[in-house]
């Protein structure tokens, strides 16, 4: 049986305020819970519909419809500000998220990073909370493998530069990405869905990239979804890396 306090606690975790206060978050679905079990994340409790009943599961789900299994997990420790710069290693390739607010986009970008073997994402403080249930769901388990660090993105960019590593970003006035020689390391900045890369970060970008449309002159979309653009950029980095 689920207690009223358990139900109240789990339901409260739909809000960032309570996730921060309790230091907990929720993962739902067989795939996500399986990945959580294999990870180093601490699992507080697992709830299964065949044990607690479907009606009880429907009361604690944070999704539109309940899944057969839900895990309550501890959030990992947040690196101290003094430690974050030390996470930048020479010759590393990482993604920087600059004000990404859409949970689906953020979760998909984490999944993309995992697919392309990029294990670190640095995010500005105004980026959506990684433990938002929609973000967690969109990662399809990649959240348990990627280092996701909230930080002063300007400071991190400067740290990459101090290690003699480039800062990449996508711009309409950039060089066509397929005609640009890309290094196998650096920081790839992806800007917000509505405003692109912020005015604070723009001056720190050392290599502007452009993803050209290939519609053969026909009318096309005004812009790409940020997650789709991230996938294209990461794919080109890895394609060129295989050639070098």
Q: In what order do the strands lie in the sheet with 186-191?
A: 147-151, 120-124, 93-98, 186-191, 167-176, 207-210
Domain boundaries, the chain: 4-74, 87-243
CA angle 132/133/139 to nearest 5° reads 95
pTM, entire model: 0.93
Q: Is the pLDDT of residue 241 over 80?
A: no
Cβ atoms 131, 107 nearer than 8 A: no
79-114 pLDDT per residue, tens: 888 889 899 999 999 999 999 999 999 999 999 999
- The mean of the pLDDT values for the chain is 93
CA distance 44 to 73: 5
User: What are the structure tokens assigned to 122, written together?
Assistant: 């640095």
* Amino acid 221: pLDDT: 66
Query: If DSSP codes are grouped into helix, strand and coil, which group holds residue 98?
Result: strand
Q: What residues contact residue 149 under an 8 Å CB cut-off, 6+ apart?
A: 79, 84, 87, 120, 121, 122, 123
38-42, 193-197, 200-204: segment of lowest average pLDDT: 193-197
Calculate mean pLDDT across residues 17-39. 96
* Amino acid 46: pLDDT: 97
pLDDT band at 57 (very low <50, low <70, confident <90, very high): very high
* Amino acid 216: pLDDT: 67
136-165 pLDDT per residue, tens: 999 999 999 999 999 999 999 999 999 999
Q: Is the pLDDT of residue 28 over 60?
A: yes
Q: Give whole-number Cα distances, 207 to 36, 44, 91, 223, 229, in Å.
A: 37, 44, 16, 20, 16
* Amino acid 220: pLDDT: 65
* CATH no. for 87-243: 3.40.1280.10
* Amino acid 242: pLDDT: 59
Q: Is the pLDDT of residue 208 over 80?
A: yes
Half-sphere exposure of 83 (CA within 13 A, CB side): 6
* Amino acid 80: pLDDT: 85
223 versus 109: the higher-pLDDT residue is: 109
* Amino acid 217: pLDDT: 66
Q: Is the pLDDT of residue 134 over 90?
A: yes
* CATH no. for 4-74: 3.30.1330.30
* Amino acid 244: pLDDT: 45
Calculate mean pLDDT across residues 202-228. 84
């Amino acid at each position: 049986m689920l207690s009223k306090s358990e139900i109240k606690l789990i339901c409260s975790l739909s809000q960032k305020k309570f996730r921060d206060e309790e230091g907990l978050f929720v993962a739902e679905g067989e795939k996500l819970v399986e990945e959580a079990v294999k990870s180093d994340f601490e699992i507080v409790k697992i709830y299964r519909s065949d044990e607690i009943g479907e009606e009880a599961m429907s009361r604690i789900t944070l999704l539109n419809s309940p899944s057969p299994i839900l895990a309550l997990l501890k959030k990992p420790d947040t690196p101290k500000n003094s430690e974050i710069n030390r996470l930048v290693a020479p010759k590393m390739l990482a993604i920087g998220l600059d004000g990404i607010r859409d949970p689906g986009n953020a979760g998909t970008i984490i999944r993309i990073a995992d697919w392309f073997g990029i294990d670190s994402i640095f995010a500005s403080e105004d980026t959506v909370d990684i433990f938002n249930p929609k973000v967690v769901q969109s990662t399809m388990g990649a959240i348990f493998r990627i280092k996701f660090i909230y930080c002063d993105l300007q400071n991190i960019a400067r740290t990459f530069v101090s290690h003699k590593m480039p800062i990449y970003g996508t711009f309409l006035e950039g060089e066509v990405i397929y005609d640009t020689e890309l290094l196998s390391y650096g920081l790839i900045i992806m800007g917000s869905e509505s405003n692109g890369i912020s005015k604070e970060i723009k001056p720190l970008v050392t290599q502007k990239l452009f993803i050209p449309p290939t519609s053969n002159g026909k009318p096309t979309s005004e812009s790409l979804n940020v997650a789709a653009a991230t996938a294209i950029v990461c794919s080109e980095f890895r394609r060129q890396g295989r050639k070098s």
